[in-house]
Amino acid sequence: MAKTDFTRDQTINIAVKIGKILLKSGAETYRVEDTISRCCLVHGYEVDPFVTPTVIILGNEDTDSFIRVSRIGYRSTNLSLISEMNTMSYNFHKWDKSYEETCAWLEKKWRQPAPYGKWAVCLASGIGSAAFAAMLGGNSHDFIAAFVTGGMAMVVLKQIAGYHPSAFWENAIAGVAIGAVALLCCAMSVQCTMEKIIVGALMPFVPGVPFCNGLRDYMAGNLMSGNSRIAEALLFASSIAIGIAFVLRVWFIWGWDLWK
C-alpha cells in the first residue's frame, strides 16, 4: 500500500507511455485522455491532454510549462492490453514500484506479443464467419463454406500484412479473396447460397468497432477524433467493398453461370 512519489517529469513520462500503449491497442480517445489526466492528477499535477487517433499532445496553462508530442503510426485492436492498462491506472494511487521498474514494466507491455497468435486468429475468423452464416439461416453447406472462406481471407490478410502495404490494400485484397473463395465454394456445391457465405466471411472485416468508437468519441465531445475515426471506418468499408465488388463484377462480365 506504499505509494512512491514521482517527480513531475517522471509522472508525465509514465502517463505518456500509458497513453501510447492504450492508443496503439485501439482504445477510445476519451479513455486515453481520461487515463492520462487521472495518472497525473493522483500525483497532484494538472495537465491538458489533446489526443487524436494518431497523436498525443500534452501541456498545461503555466508559463514554465512543458510540451510532449508523440506519434502513433500503426494501430490494432487488443482488448486485453486495454484492460491491463485500465487496471494499472485505477491502482495508480497506491502504486509501489519505483520509476525505473515502472518504465521497464511498461516497455515490456509495449513489446509483448498479443495473447492469441496468427493461426488462432485465423481459426477464430473462420468460426465467426461460419456462425454468422448459420445465424442468418444458412444450411450445413453454407456453414462449412463460410468457415473456409472466412479463414482463408484472414490467412491472406495476415500473409500480406507482413509486407506492410497500406490498410486500404490489405482489406481490398482480403475482399478479393472472399469473393474468389465464395465463388469457388458455390461452384463446388449446389446447396450453397452466395449471399450467406459472403456476409458471414465479411463480418470479421466490417469496421464496426472504429465506427462505434468514433460515435462514442463524438458523445464524449472529442469532435476531431470522432471525425477521423469515422473516416477510417468508411475507408476500410469501402476498400473491402471494392475488393468483393471487383470479383463479382468480373464474374458478371464473363457471365459464368456457377450457382443457378
Partner 1 sequence: MEMITAFFFASLATMAFAILFQAPKKIVLIDGIIGAIGWVVFIYLRHELGYTSFVSNFTATISLALASELSSRIFKQPVTVFVIPGIVPLVPGLGIYQGMFAIINNDYNNGTSILLTAMTDSVAIAIGVMLVSSLFRVIKVRRFMLQYRRSKRQMEMKVKGKK
> Binder to partner 1 among 7, 65, 80, 159 (CB under 8 A)?
80
Q: Rounded distance, CA 7 to CA 45, Å?
A: 10
Q: Rounded distance, CA 125 to CA 147, Å?
A: 8
Contact 96, 60 (CB under 8 A): no
DSSP per-residue letters across 66-103: --EEEE-------HHHHHHHHHHHHTGGG--S-HHHHH
> Binder to partner 1 among 14, 15, 18, 27 (CB under 8 A)?
27
Nearer to partner 1, 69 or 135 (CB): 135
Min dist. Cβ of residue 69 to partner 1 (A): 26
By CB under 8 A, the residues from 91 to 120 that bind partner 1 are: 93, 114-116, 120
Min dist. Cβ of residue 189 to partner 1 (A): 20
Nearer to partner 1, 12 or 202 (CB): 202
By CB under 8 A, the residues from 188 to 247 that bind partner 1 are: 195, 198-199, 202-204, 206, 208-209, 211-212, 215-216, 219-220, 237, 241, 244-245
All 3 cell numbers of residue 197?
457465405
Whose cell is 462480365? That residue is: 253
13-36 burial string, b = 16+ CB within 10 Å, else e?
bbbbbbbbbbbbbbbbbbbbbbbb
- Which range binds partner 1 by CB under 8 A, 12-20, 39-47, 155-163, 185-193? 39-47
By CB under 8 A, the residues from 139 to 168 that bind partner 1 are: none
Is 248 a binding residue for partner 1 by CB under 8 A? The answer is yes
CA distance readout (Å), 244 to 26, 173, 254? 26, 9, 16
> Binder to partner 1 among 19, 49, 53, 128 (CB under 8 A)?
128
Is 181 a binding residue for partner 1 by CB under 8 A? The answer is no
Q: Rounded distance, CA 228 to CA 231, Å?
A: 5
Q: Rounded distance, CA 41 to CA 103, Å?
A: 19
- Give the interface with partner 1 as residue ranges (CB under 8 A): 27-28, 31, 38, 41-42, 44, 77-83, 86-87, 93, 114-116, 120-121, 124-125, 127-128, 131-132, 134-136, 195, 198-199, 202-204, 206, 208-209, 211-212, 215-216, 219-220, 237, 241, 244-245, 248-249, 252
